[in-house]
């Protein structure tokens, strides 16, 4: 790159969105771009973890937070209204002060931060959408939006196990937002989040190695370049993206466990278990007799209450066979040779991180894209099984043993190793994500020349 080019990133303020955006920043910086991150004050990333990026805080006026889906949407609404003018002010300054960061050539924004496209448009600055979920999920969403606009919702229960036309092997049960009780306001928002406004390209945290079919269809649909350059965390130099402090003591604990023996249990940053499920899970893990590393976030449980509700002797067993942390260095954990399985809610980052390390999964999806991701794991890649039905101790014990110590589980481990190989292939020199990244670098460099 002869002239210095600056890319402005706008992440959405949730862990599963901030992580891929910061990884994308590290990827683009490794290609010579200077990186500015305009972020909400709510769930702000820690600038100390990215000393070579410039951070610009956007006052958002988000006041409270709980994990309900409706509240997440309320937060987004507030942000999309309140951040616009300050963001515009920042961009004007950046465009006028070229000597500081280089020439601003584009803004890359998370698909749900839709105020950005308006601002970019007004300043005649190109914008690019970054999509942190997979392509199948977008296609599923579009399908449901279509059903809704044709007044076909709700669907009869009898249809739920059927395969969705054109979306094999996904079932109606896997589709997001099938209920007709979802308010119009939310559908309107989601509709916007699934288009690209005036953006000139899309960057996707996926790879042609695993989503070639859906990518080909979307490339025809969108008519703008789609750069599938994932898994981002394997394309970027390692970077610290956690909003919460990681407890690295669990790595010492993993170091003394046998290869492939440990089940890692984590539900990401939003999904949590209720008290009953938590206790049944504890019992099931103990009864399975497999070592486990379990993430229980402090916002999802009161620790004193947890300890008092646990089975007799649970804490002693923990000392011996289990390890509980509030937040783990997940990518290091999944790459550790002692970890042989991952019980996950199937967020897209967790799913990509698991297959990239060849770790088979127990899927317990909860909402949104997680059902689609779980179907990929169980029915497309065959690298995991679903925790079906009620989470009681018998079910947990049986499912854990199926994954960790059965012939079936071993077969899934072998398949997971093949997925790891595919991910490695995509990011190695000459691989499909590697090539697409070079195309993206060229594309961005040409934007204002």
List of residues contacting ligand UDX (CB under 6 A):
14-17, 19, 132-133, 242, 266, 268-271, 295, 327-328, 330-331, 347-350, 353, 368-370
Least separation in angstroms between CB 331 and ligand UDX: 6
Q: Would you say 20 and 232 are in contact if contact means Cβ atoms under 8 Å apart?
A: yes
Return all residues near 60 (Cβ < 8 A) that are at least 6 apart: 13, 40, 41, 42, 78, 79, 82, 83
* Residue 9, phi then psi, degrees to nearest 5: -110, 140
Which is closer to ligand UDX, CB of 101 or CB of 331?
Answer: 331
Which is closer to ligand UDX, CB of 189 or CB of 410?
Answer: 189
Least separation in angstroms between CB 151 and ligand UDX: 28
Which is closer to ligand UDX, CB of 225 or CB of 335?
Answer: 335
Which is closer to ligand UDX, CB of 105 or CB of 363?
Answer: 363
Return the DSSP state at 105.
Answer: E
Return the DSSP state at 147.
Answer: H
Q: Which two tokens stand for residue 252?
A: 């010492």
| Pairing between β-strand 322-325 and β-strand 292-295 as defined by DSSP bridges | parallel
Least separation in angstroms between CB 196 and ligand UDX: 19
Please report, to the nearest 10 degrees, the dihedral formed by the alpha carbons of residues 70, 71, 74, 79 taken in order.
-140
What DSSP string describes 362-422? EE---STTHHHHHHIIIIIS--EEE--S---HHHHHHHHHHHHSSHHHHHHHHHHHHHHHH
Alpha-carbon distance of 376 to 389, in angstroms, equals 19
Which is closer to ligand UDX, CB of 228 or CB of 269?
Answer: 269
Q: How many CA atoms lie within 13 A of 263 on its CB side?
A: 28
Which is closer to ligand UDX, CB of 260 or CB of 332?
Answer: 332
């Amino acid at each position: 790159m002869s002239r210095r080019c600056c890319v402005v990133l706008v992440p959405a303020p949730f862990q599963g969105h901030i992580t891929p955006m910061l990884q994308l920043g590290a990827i683009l910086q490794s290609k010579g771009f200077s990186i500015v991150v305009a972020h909400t004050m709510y769930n702000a990333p820690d600038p100390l973890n990215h000393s070579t990026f410039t951070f610009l805080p956007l006052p958002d006026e988000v006041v409270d937070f709980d994990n309900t889906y409706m509240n997440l949407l309320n937060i987004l609404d507030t942000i999309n209204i309140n951040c616009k003018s300050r963001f515009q002010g920042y961009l004007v300054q950046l465009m006028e002060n070229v000597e500081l960061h280089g020439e601003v050539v584009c803004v890359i924004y998370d698909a749900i931060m839709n105020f950005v496209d308006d601002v970019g448009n007004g300043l005649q600055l190109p914008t690019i959408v970054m999509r942190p979920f997979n392509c199948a999920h977008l296609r599923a969403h579009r399908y449901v939006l279509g059903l809704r606009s044709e007044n076909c919702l709700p669907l009869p229960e009898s249809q739920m196990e059927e395969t969705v036309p054109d979306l094999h092997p996904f079932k109606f049960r896997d589709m997001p937002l099938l209920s007709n009780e979802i308010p119009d306001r939310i559908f309107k928002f989601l509709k916007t989040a699934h288009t690209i406004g005036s953006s000139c390209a899309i960057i996707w945290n996926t790879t042609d190695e695993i989503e070639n079919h859906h990518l080909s269809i979307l490339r025809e649909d969108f008519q703008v370049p789609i750069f599938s350059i994932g898994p981002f965390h394997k394309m970027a130099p390692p970077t610290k993206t956690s909003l919460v402090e990681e407890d690295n003591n669990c790595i010492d604990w993993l170091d003394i466990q046998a290869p492939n023996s440990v089940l890692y249990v984590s539900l990401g940053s939003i999904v949590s278990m209720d008290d009953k499920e938590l206790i049944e899970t504890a019992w099931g893990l103990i009864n399975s007799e497999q070592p486990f590393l379990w993430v229980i976030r402090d916002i999802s449980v009161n620790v004193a209450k947890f300890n008092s509700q646990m089975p007799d002797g649970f804490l002693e067993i923990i000392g011996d066979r289990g390890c509980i942390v509030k937040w783990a260095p997940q990518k290091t954990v999944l790459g550790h040779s002692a970890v042989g399985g991952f019980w996950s809610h199937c967020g897209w980052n967790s799913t990509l991180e698991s297959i990239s390390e060849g770790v088979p999964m127990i899927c317990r999806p909860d909402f949104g894209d997680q059902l689609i991701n779980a179907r990929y794991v169980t029915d497309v890649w065959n690298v995991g099984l679903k925790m079906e039905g009620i989470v009681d101790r018998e079910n947990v014990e049986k499912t854990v043993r199926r994954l960790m110590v059965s012939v079936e589980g071993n077969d899934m481990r072998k398949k997971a190793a093949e997925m790891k190989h595919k991910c490695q292939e995509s990011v190695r020199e000459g691989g499909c994500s590697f090539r697409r990244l070079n195309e993206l670098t060229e594309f961005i460099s040409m934007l204002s020349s």
